[in-house]
Amino acid sequence: MDQDEGLTAVDNIVTQFSTYEDFLDSQITTVDLYYLEDESLARQLVELGYRGTGEVVKREDFEARKAAIEIAMLAERTQKK
């Protein structure tokens, strides 16, 4: 995977979920919750990359891309006016 594809994947994740916690929750299965019995612990494991069904994205990266996308959308709306 080259750098452009990686950025596109993160952008897709950022636009798909409104918060980082929503993204983490999407990676947690019912089996994870059954054995761990703690949603917070399950989120931490996904965040660290030990568990989950998809790509590992750090909180800082998620929030930075979310802010960049919001700024770009705002600039686009402002230009249209």
> Residue 1: is its pLDDT beyond 80?
no
pTM for the full predicted model: 0.76
Query: Which two three-digit tokens encode residue 55?
Result: 């790509």
52 DSSP 8-state letter:
-
Place of tokens 């703690």: 38
Which is more confident, 23 or 12?
A: 23
- Give the whole-number percent of the chain exceeding pLDDT 90: 38
**What's the rounded Cα separation, in Å, for the pair 52 and 48?**
10
> Residue 68: is its pLDDT beyond 50?
yes
**Residue 20 binned pLDDT confidence (cut-offs 50, 70, 90):** very high
